[in-house]
Amino acid sequence: MKYALLMLIAVCFSCEKGESTVKSTSDDVKAYIIGYTGGWGGGPAYKLEGGQLFRSAEDRFLGTPDDILDGIEFRLLEDGAKLQAMTAVMAEYPATVFDSVAPKFDCAEMAWDGVCPYLIILTETGGSKAWTRSESDEATPFSSYLDEIAELLQTLSQ
């Protein structure tokens, strides 16, 4: 009887564990958009979609994530090295980490003319989520990945 009870408990824990697994959204990503917000209007946005790299036609004052998704014109950027750099960083996108962080698009540094890197995810179903990195963020995998995006932005702007 004691062994039957232990087996029942083990089965319950394994079922519970399977149900609580966080589903990764990286399979559902249609496009990645990165850039800087804040400061003197931020900077250009870069979009990786369909294996191609695009750059915003405008350089500054791109607005909110909705503005960027709906109103910004993107032009093909034909630079193999930059495409490879963006593809490599986006391939490391930690979907499960970002799934556990509430979307935010704020940049406290803009009050002092600083900038914050951002990431916008556009899904196959037409949804989107956006996050910014700020100096006030604690050191986490989330902030580390957005720091990588900041380094990538330096490469893309050259």
pLDDT in tens, 57-79: 999 999 999 999 998 999 999 99
Residue 5, domain member (yes or no): no
**According to the model, what pLDDT value does residue 26 have?**
60
Which residues, 6+ apart, have CB-to-CB distance to 123 below 8 Å? 25, 28, 29, 30
Look at residue 3 and tell me if it is in a domain.
no
In DSSP terms, 36 is beta-bridged to 117
Predicted pLDDT at 109: 84
Domain count, the chain: 1
* Residue 145 resides in a domain: yes
The pLDDT assigned to 95 comes to: 94
Q: Which residues of the chain have pLDDT under 50?
A: 1-25
| Global confidence as pTM | 0.81
Q: Which domain holds residue 67?
A: 25-156
Q: Is residue 120 part of a domain?
A: yes
In a domain, 36, yes or no: yes
Radius of gyration of the CA atoms of the chain, in A: 19
Q: Does residue 107 belong to any structural domain of this protein?
A: yes
In a domain, 42, yes or no: yes
Is residue 34 within 8 Å of 46, Cβ to Cβ?
Answer: yes
- The gap from C-alpha 132 to its chain's centroid, in whole angstroms, comes to 9
pLDDT of residue 40: 85
Is the residue at 45 inside a domain?
A: yes
